[in-house]
Amino acid sequence: MAIESITKTLGSGSGIDISALVTSLVEAQTATKAAQLTAKNETLTAQISATSSLKSAINSFDTALKSLIRGGAVSTQPTSSNTSLLNVSVLSGASAAGLSAQVEVRQLASGQVANSATVADKSAAIGQGTLTLTFGNTTVVDGEMTAFAAGPGTPVDITIDATNSSLQGVADAINAKKAGVTASILTDSTGSRLVLKSATGASQGFTLSAAETAGHEGLSALAVGVGATGTTIGSAAQDAIVAIDGVPVRRAVNSIPDIIPGIRLDLVAASVGTKINIGSKAPTDALQQAVGDIVDTYNELYAQLKTATDPVTGPLRQDSAAKAMLRSLSDLSTRALVSGGVAGSPKSLSEIGVSTNRDGTLTLNSGRLTNALLSYPDSVEAMFKMGAGLSAQLSSIAVSASSTIYGLGASETRYTKAKTALTEQQTKATEAAEVLRTRMTRQFASMDSAVAAYKSTQTFIENQVKAWNSDS
């Protein structure tokens, strides 16, 4: 408040605009350093932005390629001549190249489904005792179990007492055991019934026996097994049966990954006698598109990197990590991506039509790529395997660029710390300028006061002289 009061009266004695004078003097002493700090701040901001953008760009490139490969678009895919009966897919890391077989879906795997008679109120007590669930192989005729051979598993006991003696309570108690049978309540206009369902496979047939508590009988109405009269079996447990080139094979499930190496068979419907041909289709069009997209993405990233490392205007012109990334990208097209293969097969992008221009960008010779795909489809496809080939090379560049020890990640951390320190310097410089302004203001206020006093004395003397002259 004292300084504010002073600045309002400055110049009243001397007639000089001391406030403007102080501002000019402070700026003259601090302008150079302030300009230097501002310029450094702008440089660091540009460096942080450039490193962040380059890290994001290379990681996006890497992620996009991995997603493309993971989706299977650039891999040979298995085909089915009748997808209404059978679907086929390739397992992760496997190849469908050369696949050729004939499949017949003779039987789908199913689980046992049994249901009780209806009751009017699913919340009303049915009975108490112990239900015992036993798994094994069954024979079912017209909804009735006619034979049962228990499996090696231990039977599961389910206690039913006053707390869970209703139909809903029984269903909840069975589900709580998580024994391999799912219980649910199905309700319609006729009432509610207990529905029990097992997993698929012939060994997943089951019986449910009841040991009733005296005086609380009724659980036997839910029994499932040979001679049971209160339940009906709507679906018997059975294995899937498929014939591969005429050889029958059984499995407990309808999604089968272990009959044909590297191939998953998903059974949709059974049709005895119907032969389904499975083969493979090379991703020729997808690979053409993928290589073109890779060239375009590379050129965008390369241009961004060249701008950032421009020897005159680039914010990262002295950044070793950015220069290392540029070198790594520059020879990407000539690196060997695959090994082995038939004699003369391509092993690098440059050998399938991707050439490097004088300015470092890439160009795709579509005709040469087409010839490579026709002559060496397996070798070209091998360049686009997950964790190998181009994916491995690009991932290595991305990891190096993101490193917080030696990559752009480390550069970004360094620039960020420097900017934080610079901000502190700017704050201190601003505070120092204000201290200087305060000191100068006080000094000139004292001077102005002295000048005012002198002027007052001068005025007094002038008035005295005038009085003396008028008296004479």
- pLDDT tops 70 at residue 393: yes
Average pLDDT over residues 374-392: 91
Residue 432's φ and ψ, nearest 5 degrees, are -65, -40
In a domain, 448, yes or no: no
Mean pLDDT of the residues in the chain? 89
In percent, the amount of the chain with pLDDT more than 70 equals: 89
Number of domains in the chain: 3
Statement to judge: residues 296 and 349 lie in one domain: yes
Residues 116, 147 within the same domain? yes
Q: Residue 37 contacts by C-beta under 8 Å, 6 or more apart in sequence?
A: 422, 425, 426, 429
Considering the domain boundaries, does residue 329 fall inside one?
A: yes
pLDDT, residue 8, reads: 45
Produce one character per residue of 361-380: b if its CB has 16 or more CB atoms within 10 Å, e if not. ebebeeebbeebbeebbebb
Examine the domain organization and report whether 104 and 68 are in the same domain: no
Whether residue 222 contacts residue 208, with contact meaning beta carbons closer than 8 Å, is answered with: yes
Tokens 């499975």, residue located? 278
CB 364 within 8 A of CB 292: yes
Domain presence at residue 244: yes
Helix (H) or strand (E) holding 2: helix 2-9
Q: Are 199 and 179 a contacting pair, CB within 8 Å?
A: no
Residues 164 and 199 in one domain: yes
Q: Which residues pair with 130 in a beta bridge?
A: 159, 211
For 51-107, the pLDDT digits (tens) are: 999 999 999 999 999 999 888 889 999 999 999 999 999 998 788 888 999 999 999
Q: How far is CA 70 from CA 265, 293, 385, 399, in A?
A: 19, 16, 9, 19
Residue that is last in its domain, among 411, 430, 452: 411
Report yes or no on 67 lying in a domain.
Answer: yes
pLDDT at 418: 80
Q: Please identify, among 227, 255, 281, the residue that sits at the C-terminal boundary of a domain.
A: 281
Q: Is the pLDDT of residue 407 over 80?
A: yes
Provide mean pLDDT across the span 345-352.
95
CA pair distance 256, 279, nearest whole angstrom: 17
> Is the CB of residue 408 less than 8 Å from the CB of residue 398?
no
Residues 303, 305, 309, 312, Cα dihedral to 10°: 20
Q: Are residues 248 and 102 in the same domain?
A: yes
Does 228 share its domain with 150? Answer: yes
Which of 301, 299, 286, 294 is closest to 349 using CA atoms?
Answer: 294
For residue 3, what pLDDT band results from cuts at 50, 70 and 90? very low
Cβ–Cβ under 8 Å, residues 278 and 100: yes
DSSP letter assigned to residue 102: E
Q: Is the pLDDT of residue 318 over 60?
A: yes
pLDDT at 261 over 90: yes
The three-state DSSP-derived secondary structure of 262-317 is: CEEEEECCCCCCCCEEEEEECCHHHHHHHHHHHHHHHHHHHHHHHHHCCCCCCCCC
Q: Does residue 277 fall inside a structural domain?
A: yes
| Per-residue model confidence as pLDDT tens digits over 109-143 | 999 999 999 999 999 999 999 999 999 999 999 99
Residue 147 in this model has a pLDDT that exceeds 60: yes
CATH number at residue 115: 3.30.70
98 plus 244 within the same structural domain? yes
Residues 297 and 189 in one domain: no
Residue 349 pLDDT level (bands cut at 50, 70, 90): very high
Residues 127 and 210 in one domain: yes
Whether 449 has a pLDDT exceeding 70, the answer reads no
Q: Which helix (H) or strand (E) holds 434?
A: helix 408-471
Q: In what order do the strands lie in the sheet with 181-188?
A: 181-188, 191-200, 111-116, 231-235
pLDDT given at position 424: 74
Rounded Cα–Cα distance for residues 448 and 18 (Å):
9
pLDDT band at 7 (very low <50, low <70, confident <90, very high): very low
Interatomic CA distance for residues 470 and 472, integer angstroms: 5
Half-sphere exposure of 470 (CA within 13 A, CB side): 6
One domain for residues 316 and 269: no
Is 445 within the bounds of a domain?
no
The stretch 150-168 carries a mean pLDDT of 96
> In this prediction, what percent of the chain has a pLDDT beyond 90?
70
Looking at the fold, whether 219 and 364 belong to one and the same domain comes out as: no
Q: Which of 76-90, 411-425, 445-459 has the highest mean pLDDT?
A: 76-90
Give residue 12's pLDDT band: very low, low, confident or very high (50, 70, 90).
Answer: very low
Does residue 5 belong to any structural domain of this protein?
no
Q: How confident is the model at residue 30 (pLDDT cuts 50, 70, 90)?
A: low
SS3 19: helix
Given a cut of 70, is residue 187 above it in pLDDT? yes
pLDDT band at 14 (very low <50, low <70, confident <90, very high): low
Contacts of residue 131, Cβ cutoff 8 Å, sequence gap at least 6:
157, 158, 160, 170, 173, 174, 208, 209, 210, 219, 222
Confidence of residue 4 (pLDDT cuts 50, 70, 90): very low
- 3-class secondary-structure state, position 69: helix
Question: Hey, which of 1-15, 325-339, 438-452 has the most confident mean pLDDT?
Answer: 325-339
The pair of three-digit structure tokens given for residue 27, joined into one six-digit string: 């700026």
- Comparing C-alpha atoms, which of 388, 380, 383, 401 is closest to residue 329? 401
| Amino acid code (one letter) for 202 | A
Please, are residues 267 and 238 in contact by the beta-carbon 8 Å criterion? no
Q: Check residue 302 and give its pLDDT.
A: 95
Quick one: 392 and 320 in the same domain? yes
- Please give the residue range of the domain that contains residue 63: 49-72+284-411
User: Residue 31: its pLDDT value, please?
Assistant: 63
Residue 180 lies in a domain: yes
Residue pLDDT, tens place only, 262-313? 999 999 999 999 999 999 999 999 999 999 999 999 999 999 999 999 999 9
